């Protein structure tokens, strides 16, 4: 099938896939847009080797992170570095959900603690990404890969800290700041009046997020965030 497509020639491509759209778009030094995203958010957890030997953890035998959904939106600033490279800055708001579940020998019902705030977490994400893109395929499609780093700030951290310090809640508290490494792949589609892209991105946290445990003090060694995100961008 691939050889057949290559043999059709440029005229057949133009007939099947249409004439190239936005022919001057790729020569612009900068352009802007917005994105909407959805995905999952979770933790990479390292617990102490033998929980039952620890003080305050004698009935605890499993600490398990439970993945939650996330959604977000943001704006895009894209700087052209060359024919195949762009630098992208995408400040966004992300609303993730994740819990740690504690399994105990003596409890009929397992206990679940939210990750620092019973009312959820709101991240201000500031990613800086390098985008490497292919030449146009089929007139109006580009494939690309990207990589970079992201700084995230929990905007409701103050409220979370107040709740965690209240003995009535006994909640786990995570740090307000995080730095994540990111890699992703996607496709650009050149439409008549704008460029649309679909993108899949993976993120992993570089900082230990554990700040303060709740009821089971000493059960966790480290928490690192991770997430998958599917985005649709309009530029």
User: pLDDT tens, 79-109?
Assistant: 999 999 999 999 999 998 887 777 777 655 5
* Cα–Cα distance, 33 to 45 (Å, whole number): 36
User: pLDDT tens, 159-215?
Assistant: 666 665 565 556 677 888 999 999 999 999 999 999 999 999 999 999 998 887 777
Closest Cα to residue 190, out of 143, 142, 134?
142
Confidence band of 10 (pLDDT split at 50, 70, 90): very low
Structure token digits, residue 175: 């740090």
What does residue 222 show for φ and ψ, rounded to 5 degrees? -155, 155
| Entry pTM | 0.80
pLDDT at 17 over 70: no
Structure token digits, residue 26: 């790729």
In the chain, the domains with their CATH numbers are 28-234 (2.40.160.20)
Residue 20 DSSP class:
P
Q: Which residue has the higher pLDDT, 78 or 65?
A: 78
Q: What is the dihedral of CA 232, 152, 205, 142, to 10 degrees?
A: 30
């Amino acid at each position: 099938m691939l050889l057949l497509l290559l043999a059709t020639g440029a005229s057949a491509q133009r007939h099947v896939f249409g004439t190239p759209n936005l022919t001057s778009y790729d020569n612009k030094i900068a352009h802007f847009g917005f994105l909407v995203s959805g995905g999952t958010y979770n933790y990479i957890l390292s617990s102490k080797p033998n929980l039952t030997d620890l003080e305050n953890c004698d009935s605890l035998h499993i600490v398990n992170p439970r993945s939650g959904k996330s959604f977000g939106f943001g704006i895009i600033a894209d700087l052209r570095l060359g024919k195949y490279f762009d630098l992208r800055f995408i400040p966004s708001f992300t609303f993730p959900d994740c819990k740690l579940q504690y399994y105990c020998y003596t409890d009929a019902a397992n206990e679940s603690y939210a990750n620092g705030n019973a009312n959820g977490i709101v991240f201000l994400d500031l990613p800086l990404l390098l985008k490497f893109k292919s030449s146009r395929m089929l007139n109006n499609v580009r494939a690309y890969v990207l990589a970079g780093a992201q700084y995230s700030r929990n905007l409701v951290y103050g409220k979370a800290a107040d709740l965690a310090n209240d003995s009535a809640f006994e909640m786990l508290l995570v740090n307000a700041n995080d730095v994540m490494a990111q890699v992703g792949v996607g496709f650009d589609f050149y439409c008549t009046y704008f460029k649309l892209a679909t993108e899949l991105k993976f993120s992993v946290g570089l900082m230990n997020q554990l700040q303060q445990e709740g009821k089971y003090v000493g059960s966790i060694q480290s928490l690192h965030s991770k997430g998958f995100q599917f985005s649709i961008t309009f530029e």
